[in-house]
Structure 1
Amino acid sequence: MSALDERVTALQSAIEAAGDVIDPDVVAPAEATFSHAQERLELSTQHTVVVLAGATGSGKSSLFNRLAGLDLAEVGYLRPTTSTPLACAWGPAGATELLDWIGVARRDQIARRSILDAPQDDAFEGLVLLDLPDHDSVVTQNQEVVDHVARYADLFVWVLDPQKYADAAIHARYLQPLATHAESSVVVLNQADRLSETDLKIAVDDLELILEREGFRGVPVIATSATSGKGLPELRAEIGRRITSKRASQARLVADVRQVARRLADAGGVEPVPGLDRPVRDALVETFVQCAGVPQIADAVEESMARRAVVATDWPLIGWVGRLRHDPLRELGFGRSARDAVAEVMPISPSVQRARADLALREATEVATEGMSRPWRASVVDAVAGESARDVIDELDEAVAGVDLGLKQRPLWWTAVGALQWLTFLAVVGGLAWSVAAAFGLVDPDPWTGAPRPLGMSLPLVLIAGGLLFGIALTLFSRWLGGVGARRAGARAEKKLTEAINRTTERIVVARLRSELDRYDRWRNGLSTAGR
């Protein structure tokens, strides 16, 4: 891939990444650059378009005639004589299609070979030389022609004269805006025959200093005289070198891409951004956890499991009373989420939770995009936390509702303890029934001779006392064990809910923000490659 292809591809990638972030008026020149580069390369890669541009009386038309070897351009010193661009093309095939694209009239196109049957000039093979109207002409149309044709030049030959080489008209209007095109420029100080050698050296040194300040450091400055021929061999050699290297056309297009890329960078910014680092992300997840009511749900799960343990393992009469107590999670599975079930004990209202989550999301996004230009930052914040993003609280509610809190699970020890409690209950009931029947003489309180009598109690009293004592002990133990299990269930529920919120945050916030930051990176990297 050539340097031009690489830059054009990078610039295109940057513009595609930006989308509608950047003002269309700023992007339009870049899109025009794509079209221009493509059309130029499709028309011809064998021609080098060299334009002679200068002020009135600088002698560029005379210089054009000397380079062409023919008196083609009308020469004048007191007023502009070139009103339309004049082109001379070297090569048997000419450059008609290319010149038509540039906008040079057919009557002003001259083929240096074949038509005029001039001697072959291998050094200029493929050269298309244009003599432009004077840039400082009072005729507005002439200035428009210069501006138009300058867009198509592969190599600028700026023709200056000793009297006006520092003229602001050419420096401010053309040279300074084209500082990015230094590699596609040659500066000629014409009419050198009018100065002494000493004065000429002073003028050339002064001109080089001016050009260096304007970004043209290292640009060749050639002193010429169309009258005496001074400097013409050097100028022809420089033009020939650019043609032979086949770099002039690409260098100009590369400069165009570089210029557009730098303008886009100024408009859209290319500063690095911190991104969503781990502490900021964790703080955002913690805020979402609070807004989704995870602590309250975990507490409700713990309370619900403790109550269910009581119902399942307490002495039957006490367990029946426990069934009458309110359980906030009892109705789950009937269209209510865990968050809805505990809404009445939430510390803040749903609207405040929503606003709090939105604010946290916006603050995290702003921290992640610190350093971005205003257009980019506004675009990213809108994409992640604006109206175009789904309501985060709704997503979190869905994530919470989809978590299995383990409420349908029934530990095996509940069944075992429940069975023992029923045995103790039956022992107490049986002892009471036996005692009542014995009191009415219906049964013998001591049916077995020699049966043990703890503390002198009869067997029915042993059943009653033993059942009550064992039931109380078993109840106390099961409540302690149930509390441990309930706390573990609450911790598991909190962990599951937090993980669900973490995944949701990764999916709807982090992934979306990462996508936007990737766009910005493509923008930055593309402009960096295109503008270097």
Structure 2
Amino acid sequence: MRAIRRTPPGRRRDAAAEPLAVLARLTQTGAGLLPADVLESARTLLDRAGQRRLVAPGVQVVALLGATGSGKSSLFNALCGADLAQVAVTRPTTTQPLAALPASPSPEADGAAGRLLDWLEVRERVRLPQSPSWGPAAVGLGDGAVLLDLPDIDSDVRSHRAVAERLAGLVDVLVWVLDPEKYADAVIHNEFIAPMAEHASVSVVALNQVDRLHEDERAAAVADLRRLLAAEGLHDVDVIPVSARTGQGVQELRARIRAVAAAEDVIEARLAADARALAALARERIGKQPERAHAADATTPAALEDAACRAVGVDLVADAVGTSMRLEAGHRVGWLPLRWLSYLRRDPLRALHLRPDSNDRGAVPSAAAPRTSLPAPSAADDAALRAAVHMYTTARIGRLPAVVQERVTGRLGAGTERIYDSLDAAVARTDLEQTCRRPRWWGAANAMQVLLALTALIGAGWLLMLHVLDRYLLLPVNPPRWGHVPWPTVLLLGGLLLGLLLAAVGTVMARVGAVRRTRRVRERLRHAVTEALNELLGTPLEQELARLEEVQALLDSLCESGRSAPGSGDAGVGSR
């Protein structure tokens, strides 16, 4: 028998209540990531915890659970000190749960016990006698505990088994009643005891009918049962050999159950154990999260960016910016006699709805830019983009459990369907340097072109006048000369040739500027595309992975939380 060592009530209550607070946080954070049935079970548990605390916080319910023939009803009578439950050779004997109420509780405690049994839907109730009619000189488990005799957990009658399973999930203290013949039964351990390993702090194991064993057989059976329980995670559960027929061990069992049930935080401990068991199930369902996908192929984001830029036409827009700048430069620095030809070419930015009107120059681009007229991506570019999106997503979540991959991909699906709209809007909002001031040298070059054109016109007019005077008025005039060349010819040819040379130089300089602008705009467009991809895929994916990390941390916190309990473990139990 283990010696009881109390811990401060406040400390125990805080430690026990913490798993439920973590579970409440888990239901909020895990929405969409955890399986729906796990989330529903968590919400049900939180709701049940609130109801249990309100119904009868000062009353504890202890249930005897066991397989057919384990002698639960006989042990129930032995603990009660009276023949209250029906005992017979035929099976099953117990068809409905039977509650044994304290002999003389206070009116408040009696009312609380009644409300609690109503909540548990236990209709059959008996009152313990004031003094035992047989067996050890003790009655029941105390004024604040109700003892339940449940139907067989392995009953062939499905309704009986359902009642036992339901109440096993609601009572505060679990007393597993085993017998020498079936204490190692795989069905009992695998389907009932092992899944309740988290409830070791509120569990007691009784090996009944030990009067049928010799002393050495009894010791071997107890040791073997302890080994089985330890392998299933119930290391700190006491195994108490008992005989309901002879009364052997009944007092020890009663004292052990009383110690567990009378602990101040037993209700919270049971609820916390439920939370840990649910967390263990959730962690098993979603799997253990591997390391974050920072080790994903570094080329995958770049491949996605390249595919998106090709699909949305970044190069097309950047080249159009360069072409537009060259056309506008032609309007300003081109050779004046042929400058009109540049107006015959259509500005590609206007065709794409990416160039503001001339009267909008200097205005700030609107954040809500209109849609562009970029051509739809080719089938090859569209397929490449979708493949890149899939590869990027897979690289980030490919090592996650399949069930989590499916949920994350489903939550990202809506974003990927809007990818072209978002990319088009990103291009439309990008500064293409169409509202900035023209280079200053354009004005100077244009003034020089006008001056040279006027010079050529003066020379041409002078030559025309000399021709008219000589041919029609017979007044030969000898014009001034620059060397051997008449000045009118110098003015005409000089104005034309210098204008042509200036246009050639201006065109080269404009092309250099257009190349630089094209490079800047291309980088700006790629940055805008990257931001749009981050908004659609990167950020939501990071948020989902962060949520998954938080869910995993909460599950780990629940599963690894202290399992010390009333009367056992570090918080409440000393050494044997």
TM-score, normalization by structure 1 = 0.85
Residue 314 (structure 2) pairs with residue 294 (structure 1) = yes
Instruction: Assess, with a 3 A threshold, how the Cα gap between structure 1 residues 455 and 358 changes in structure 2: closer, same or farther.
Output: same
Q: Secondary structure at the match of 1:51?
A: strand
Q: Secondary structure at the match of 1:133?
A: coil
Aligned to 2:389: 361
Deviations 1:501-530 (A, max 9, x none): 223222222233233334433433333333
Q: Secondary structure at the match of 2:434?
A: coil
State the AA in 1 paired with 2:325. Answer: M
Within 5 Å, give how 1:139-218 maps onto structure 2: 141-168=159-186, 170-218=188-236
Aligned to 1:450: none
Instruction: Assess, with a 3 A threshold, how the Cα gap between structure 1 residues 380 and 445 changes in structure 2: closer, same or farther.
Output: farther
Q: Which one of the candidate residues 12, 34, 58 is aligned to 1:46?
A: 58
Structure 1 residue 292 displacement after superposition: 1.5
Structure 1 residue 98 displacement after superposition: 0.7
Moved more, 252-261 or 140-149: 140-149
Structure 1 residue 18 displacement after superposition: 4.6
Separation in structure 2 between the aligned mates of residue 174 and residue 383 of structure 1, nearest angstrom: 37
Instruction: Assess, with a 3 A threshold, how the Cα gap between structure 1 residues 141 and 487 changes in structure 2: closer, same or farther.
Output: closer
Q: Which one of the candidate residues 485, 502, 513 is aligned to 2:513?
A: 485
Aligned to 1:435: 463
Instruction: Assess, with a 3 A threshold, how the Cα gap between structure 1 residues 144 and 513 changes in structure 2: closer, same or farther.
Output: closer
Residue 415 (structure 2) pairs with residue 376 (structure 1) = no
Residue 541 (structure 2) pairs with residue 524 (structure 1) = no
Separation in structure 1 between the aligned mates of residue 58 and residue 260 of structure 2, nearest angstrom: 12
Within 5 Å, give how 1:342-491 maps onto structure 2: 343=375, 349-384=377-412, 386=413, 389-407=416-434, 409-439=437-467, 440-441=469-470, 444-446=477-479, 453-491=481-519
Separation in structure 1 between the aligned mates of residue 355 and residue 490 of structure 2, nearest angstrom: 51
Instruction: Assess, with a 3 A threshold, how the Cα gap between structure 1 residues 55 and 275 changes in structure 2: closer, same or farther.
Output: closer
State the AA in 2 paired with 1:493. Answer: V
Separation in structure 1 between the aligned mates of residue 27 and residue 51 of structure 2, nearest angstrom: 19
Structure 1 residue 329 displacement after superposition: 3.0
Instruction: Assess, with a 3 A threshold, how the Cα gap between structure 1 residues 394 and 62 changes in structure 2: closer, same or farther.
Output: closer
Kept in 2, the 8 Å contact 1:88–1:110? The answer is yes
Residue 130 (structure 2) pairs with residue 102 (structure 1) = no
Structure 1 residue 330 displacement after superposition: 5.0
Separation in structure 1 between the aligned mates of residue 246 and residue 138 of structure 2, nearest angstrom: 24
Moved more, 226-235 or 89-98: 226-235
Instruction: Assess, with a 3 A threshold, how the Cα gap between structure 1 residues 471 and 43 changes in structure 2: closer, same or farther.
Output: same
State the AA in 2 paired with 1:431. Answer: G
Q: Secondary structure at the match of 1:251?
A: helix
Structure 1 residue 306 displacement after superposition: 2.1
State the AA in 2 paired with 1:178. Answer: M
Deviations 1:445-489 (A, max 9, x none): 547xxxxx5333333233234324432432232122212211122
Aligned to 2:335: 315
Separation in structure 2 between the aligned mates of residue 46 and residue 284 of structure 1, nearest angstrom: 62
State the AA in 1 paired with 2:429. Answer: G
Kept in 1, the 8 Å contact 2:312–2:377? The answer is no
Structure 1 residue 295 displacement after superposition: 1.5
Separation in structure 1 between the aligned mates of residue 244 and residue 201 of structure 2, nearest angstrom: 25
Separation in structure 2 between the aligned mates of residue 446 and residue 60 of structure 1, nearest angstrom: 138
Q: Which one of the candidate residues 239, 254, 270 is aligned to 1:236?
A: 254
Q: Which one of the candidate residues 507, 512, 516 is aligned to 2:535?
A: 507
Structure 1 residue 223 displacement after superposition: 1.5
Kept in 2, the 8 Å contact 1:184–1:251? The answer is yes
Q: Which one of the candidate residues 149, 159, 163 is aligned to 1:131?
A: 149
Residue 291 (structure 2) pairs with residue 283 (structure 1) = no
Kept in 1, the 8 Å contact 2:229–2:235? The answer is yes
State the AA in 1 paired with 2:183. Answer: Y
Separation in structure 2 between the aligned mates of residue 443 and residue 8 of structure 1, nearest angstrom: 116
Kept in 2, the 8 Å contact 1:48–1:126? The answer is yes
Deviations 1:59-104 (A, max 9, x none): 4334333333344334445655444333223442221111121222
Deviations 1:397-450 (A, max 9, x none): 122123342235422211111111111111112112212322424695547xxx
Residue 44 (structure 2) pairs with residue 32 (structure 1) = yes
Separation in structure 1 between the aligned mates of residue 352 and residue 162 of structure 2, nearest angstrom: 78
Separation in structure 2 between the aligned mates of residue 141 and residue 339 of structure 1, nearest angstrom: 65
User: Mind listing any 5+ residue stretches in structure 1 that lack a counterpart?
Assistant: 448-452
Structure 1 residue 168 displacement after superposition: 4.2
Moved more, 92-101 or 154-163: 154-163
State the AA in 1 paired with 2:510. Answer: G
Within 5 Å, give how 1:218-229 maps onto structure 2: 218-229=236-247
Separation in structure 1 between the aligned mates of residue 205 and residue 221 of structure 2, nearest angstrom: 13
Structure 1 residue 333 displacement after superposition: 5.0
State the AA in 2 paired with 1:523. Answer: V
Separation in structure 2 between the aligned mates of residue 445 and residue 407 of structure 1, nearest angstrom: 53
Q: Secondary structure at the match of 1:178?
A: helix
Q: Secondary structure at the match of 1:267?
A: helix
Q: Which one of the candidate residues 66, 71, 75 is aligned to 2:78?
A: 66
- How many residues were matched structurally? 518
Instruction: Assess, with a 3 A threshold, how the Cα gap between structure 1 residues 319 and 526 changes in structure 2: closer, same or farther.
Output: same
Structure 1 residue 53 displacement after superposition: 2.3
Separation in structure 2 between the aligned mates of residue 500 and residue 355 of structure 1, nearest angstrom: 21
Kept in 2, the 8 Å contact 1:157–1:186? The answer is yes
Separation in structure 2 between the aligned mates of residue 503 and residue 183 of structure 1, nearest angstrom: 53
Aligned to 2:20: 8
Structure 1 residue 219 displacement after superposition: 1.6
User: Mind listing any 5+ residue stretches in structure 2 that lack a counterpart?
Assistant: 1-12, 357-368, 561-576
Aligned to 2:277: 259
Kept in 2, the 8 Å contact 1:272–1:372? The answer is yes
Instruction: Assess, with a 3 A threshold, how the Cα gap between structure 1 residues 342 and 66 changes in structure 2: closer, same or farther.
Output: closer
Q: Secondary structure at the match of 1:225?
A: coil
Instruction: Assess, with a 3 A threshold, how the Cα gap between structure 1 residues 479 and 200 changes in structure 2: closer, same or farther.
Output: same
Separation in structure 1 between the aligned mates of residue 91 and residue 350 of structure 2, nearest angstrom: 99
Instruction: Assess, with a 3 A threshold, how the Cα gap between structure 1 residues 49 and 499 changes in structure 2: closer, same or farther.
Output: same
Aligned to 2:567: none
State the AA in 1 paired with 2:127. Answer: I
Aligned to 1:250: 268
Deviations 1:204-245 (A, max 9, x none): 112222223333233211112335443234323322321332
Kept in 2, the 8 Å contact 1:89–1:126? The answer is no
TM-score, normalization by structure 2 = 0.79
Structure 1 residue 175 displacement after superposition: 1.9
Kept in 1, the 8 Å contact 2:178–2:208? The answer is yes
Q: Percent identity?
A: 35
State the AA in 2 paired with 1:155. Answer: V
Instruction: Assess, with a 3 A threshold, how the Cα gap between structure 1 residues 521 and 138 changes in structure 2: closer, same or farther.
Output: closer
State the AA in 2 paired with 1:483. Answer: R
Instruction: Assess, with a 3 A threshold, how the Cα gap between structure 1 residues 217 and 303 changes in structure 2: closer, same or farther.
Output: same
Separation in structure 2 between the aligned mates of residue 141 and residue 292 of structure 1, nearest angstrom: 64
